[in-house]
Amino acid sequence: MFTVFFVGTLLASAGLIDGAFLRHLEVRSTDRRSLFGRQDQASCLNKDLIQSASDLTGQEPGTDGIKPGQAESETDANNFINFCEGQEITNGKQITTGSCNGIPMGKIPAVGNMISAVITNPQQGAQLPADTAFNVSVQTAHLNAGNFVNPTTNYYTAPQDLDGSGDIIGHCHVTVQDLGSMNTNTPPDPTTFAFFKGIDDAGNGKGLLQAVVDGGLPAGNYRVCTMIAAQNHQPVAMPVAQRGAQDDCIRFSVAAAAGSGLSTSTNKNKNMTQNQDQEGFVQAGNGNNSNGHAAEKNGQGNNGQGNNAQANNGQADNGQAQNGQAKNGQANGQANGQAQNGQAQKNGH
């Protein structure tokens, strides 16, 4: 561009082009210099942050921990910084047809700061009266709760982060699904639920969080689960594989009183398109997604197929189904992993 501007100056001096066109070249030159400046600074991966393990499959001869049946890891010498090239990027949205998110996973807590949770109400196997409000209570440990961002515009847009004590900054959701049978062997549809709530406060300040199920539930057999997320709604990422789950699920039943007639509860057959003013608006994508990079390497490329809900890049806990809310372990903007995903409830959570 500098050469073009120099040639343009010579042509202008010879009267072959006018001053307006010359000024256009100068503006374009300035824009280009600005772009190059950004590439040389914060928009490029700091070479001191490149993690060499991403360039290894984990199956190289002599590697510690090799076991029969392990898969080879995908590799990239640049920590997958351009992993989402050619895909529809998440870009802060809850995209029901699937997307690719290139935000780093972020800061990972120490083992002494791993999250744990237990549902204290209702109790396992409890029987509740139909159409009657009740609280879902969750006791958490090592969650800096009540922190969430706008789920319509900032879904998965920043990494998981830690507070000064080393605890994950985030929030908790509770989701209730009708199982049909208490002893069912059929996984429930993750896009359908009876009740969903992002808990938007810090509770009692000692880890106890609550959500009110207004109007109660119709008679049936239910599962209630927690879904703990980082501040930008991605599933929380933990430091080691062997650990207790950070989420909890319990099963309970709801019984109607004799002769009570039809249920008056509105908490049934809900899906991800409801309560969007609180839980964030969802949208379909443009179909520019592949079935994964491994599939691309096999020549399968982009086919526009997506999921009915966004996928998790972090840990799925206790088999919790996610209602179109993918969460990803996330955190510090200086790593290069792929972020994931959560949800919240204040100013759109």
| C-alpha torsion angle, residues 46, 51, 54, 55 (rounded to 10) | 80
**CA-atom Rg of the chain in angstroms:** 25
In tens digits, the chain (349 residues) has pLDDT values of 444 445 455 555 555 555 555 555 454 455 545 544 554 556 788 999 999 999 999 999 999 999 999 999 999 999 999 999 999 999 999 999 999 999 999 999 999 999 999 999 999 999 999 999 999 999 999 999 999 999 999 999 999 999 999 999 999 999 999 999 999 999 999 999 999 999 999 999 999 999 999 999 999 999 999 999 999 999 999 999 999 999 999 999 999 987 777 777 888 777 767 677 777 777 888 877 655 554 444 443 333 333 333 333 333 333 333 333 333 333 333 333 333 333 333 333 4
Instruction: Give the CA diameter of the chain.
Output: 99
Whole-number Å distance between alpha carbons of 113 and 248? 17
- Name residue 339's amino acid: A
Among the listed residues 161, 134, 140, the one whose alpha carbon sits nearest the alpha carbon of residue 207: 140
Collapsing DSSP to helix, strand or coil, 151 comes out as coil
Whole-number Å distance between alpha carbons of 232 and 158? 6
In this structure, the chain runs to a length of: 349
Region of 179 please: left (phi>0), alpha (psi -120 to 50) or beta.
alpha
| Cβ 216 vs Cβ 180: under 8 Å | no
Collapsing DSSP to helix, strand or coil, 250 comes out as strand
Q: Where are the domains of the chain?
A: 2-36, 94-257+268-297
Residue 185 token pair: 């062997």
Phi, psi angle pair for 336, to nearest 5° = -125, 15
pTM: 0.71
Q: Which fold has domain 94-257+268-297?
A: Immunoglobulin-like (2.60.40)
